Structure 1
Amino acid sequence: MHRREALRMFAGLSLCQLCTSAASAAEHHWSYAGEGGPDKWSGLDEANTACSIGGQQSPINITGTIGARQPPLRIRWTKHPATIVNNGHTIQLGFEDGNTLHLGDRSFALKQMHFHHPGEHQIEGKGFAMEAHFVHEGTDGLAVVGVLLVPGKSNPVFKTIMATMPPQEGAPVQADPKIEPVRLLPSQRAYFHYEGSLTTPPCSETVEWIVLAHPIEVDEADIARFGKLYPMNARPLQKRDRRFILSSNPR
């Protein structure tokens, strides 16, 4: 418990790492393969120690879940993203104040969302084409909503993001005002809940993960478009260790 609270003190710093601008992204020499790949992250910077010695790392294979009464997700995303950036690791959209996630009696503010190809989490050993992460900041840490993406019918919001994403790494630009983040959520809001970490350096264990159980469908051509920019920007699965994974939808 004390270890967890200490780690949460670094949540603000972790969020800044996630919200990397193009200028600072150039200073980060981590990557998803080669000399800067995931197995080397902890040695690239002393701040990344948790990447190798942490006991609550993400992503994981979601299996052996425990059905439990969980608070409903109250998502209030009414503001459109202000910016979109290719930061050298992913496509990321930044939000100004006004979008919130309420989990029980706690409130979190949506700061940014970004994408991974392929999806980072698995469910019962099943992988997914992509995964969107909605990163929220609260008073005692981060809450990240993970949405799994599969090929299927076109999603207009995802299509707009893919059509307007910067093709090269650079500074943030204004996002298309038609992008409505709430339309990237499935209609069913059952979810898995576990304590974990950032899936990028510094791998801080300050994250409450809310992985939605039902994926959304997006056009396969749009997945391929993202894949041309980032053929692989997903961290390998991490050990579950002794963590509980709670399911809001008991079987």
Structure 2
Amino acid sequence: MNLSARPLFAALSIGLLSSTVAVAAPAPHWEYTGEKGAAHWSEVDPSFATCALGHQQSPINIDHAVKADLPALAFHYGSAAPTIWNNGHTVQVNLPAGNTVDVGGQSYELLQFHFHTPSEELIKGKSLPMVVHFVHKNAAGDLGVVAVLVQAGQANPALSPVFDHLPRAGEKISVDGLSLDLSALLPKTLGYYDFTGSLTTPPCSEGVHWMVLKAPITLSAAQIEAFRKLVGSNARPVQPLNGREIKESGE
């Protein structure tokens, strides 16, 4: 190698060293209580500003709902093999494509469902022991969340496969041969409350179509307690309505 080639070689070496793959920054850490709790989410990271500045935040206290001729919820849920993930904030059940709910000419595909205890939604100021949020997305990318309230009662056989395999924080598991009958997760009657809201966790994005079913399902006290021991309380406090109208189906 001649001396005149050394600067070029050095430059090429520096270029190679500088072209390392960028490592994605970890997601901002938030909690439900304390300095990084729900009252301070907007301070945790600039991307969480909507948690404090938004005017259509969720959850809400459902009261003084207006009776309306709401479109029926048409669920097209079948059986699916789940992946169960404890993300540190909840237990989330991820699902393959192919399960939808149709409402008002919109079709939303089910992405996942997860749990909160106690229920994030209040009904006339009262909470229930738990709620299941079924998260859907339509072709335009808009989210539609169906909330199913849970009261303590008989064990729920449709959800037992999930509660029999609750993963520890950070674990994501799939179980050979495990299939969920998704239609069995819903109550018999499908009357609901309808309003516009947000995600109930950071970044609290707004424009979410909320459909809260009026009829609850049951879980046993042991099933509810198993979740509480694993995750703890994970309900965001209710947010101001700010003039939003809550509609209620006649059913």
**Corresponding letter in the other structure for 2:97:** D
Q: Which runs of 5+ in 2 are unaligned?
A: 1-23
**Corresponding letter in the other structure for 2:163:** M
Q: Specify the alignment match of 1:220 in structure 2.
A: 221
Q: Specify the alignment match of 2:182 in structure 1.
A: 181
Larger-gyration structure (1/2): 2
CA RMSD of aligned residues (A): 1.7
In the aligned structure 2, how far is the partner of 1:150 from the partner of 1:38?
24
**Corresponding letter in the other structure for 1:158:** L
Q: Specify the alignment match of 1:7 in structure 2.
A: none
Q: In the alignment, does 2:38 pair up with 1:38?
A: yes
Compared CA separation, residues 81 and 46, structure 1 to 2 (3 A): farther
Pairs within 5 Å for 1:107-118: 107-118=107-118
1:48-97 per-residue CA deviation (whole Å, 9 max, x = no partner) reads 11100100000000001000001100001114143111111100011111
Query: What secondary structure, in the 3-state scheme, does the structure 1 residue paired with 2:101 have?
Result: strand
TM score, norm. by length of structure 1: 0.86
In the aligned structure 2, how far is the partner of 1:134 from the partner of 1:81?
16
1:141-194 per-residue CA deviation (whole Å, 9 max, x = no partner) reads 100000000000111122221111112322x22156232222121101000000
In the aligned structure 1, how far is the partner of 2:26 from the partner of 2:128?
29
Query: What secondary structure, in the 3-state scheme, does the structure 2 residue paired with 1:164 have?
Result: coil
Q: Specify the alignment match of 1:145 in structure 2.
A: 146
**Conserved? CA contact 2:28–2:44, under 8 Å:** no
Q: Specify the alignment match of 2:230 in structure 1.
A: 229
Q: How far is the alpha carbon of 1:25 from its aligned partner?
A: 11
In the aligned structure 1, how far is the partner of 2:186 from the partner of 2:192?
12
In the aligned structure 2, how far is the partner of 1:32 from the partner of 1:180?
31
Q: In the alignment, does 2:109 pair up with 1:106?
A: no
**Conserved? CA contact 2:68–2:248, under 8 Å:** yes
**Conserved? CA contact 1:189–1:213, under 8 Å:** yes
- Please say which of residues 192-201 and 131-140 is displaced more in the overlay: 131-140
**Conserved? CA contact 1:113–1:135, under 8 Å:** yes
Q: In the alignment, does 2:222 pair up with 1:247?
A: no
Q: Percentage identity across aligned positions?
A: 41
Pairs within 5 Å for 1:1-251: 27-138=27-138, 139-170=140-171, 172-175=172-175, 177-249=178-250
Query: What secondary structure, in the 3-state scheme, does the structure 2 residue paired with 1:43 have?
Result: helix
In the aligned structure 1, how far is the partner of 2:67 from the partner of 2:61?
17
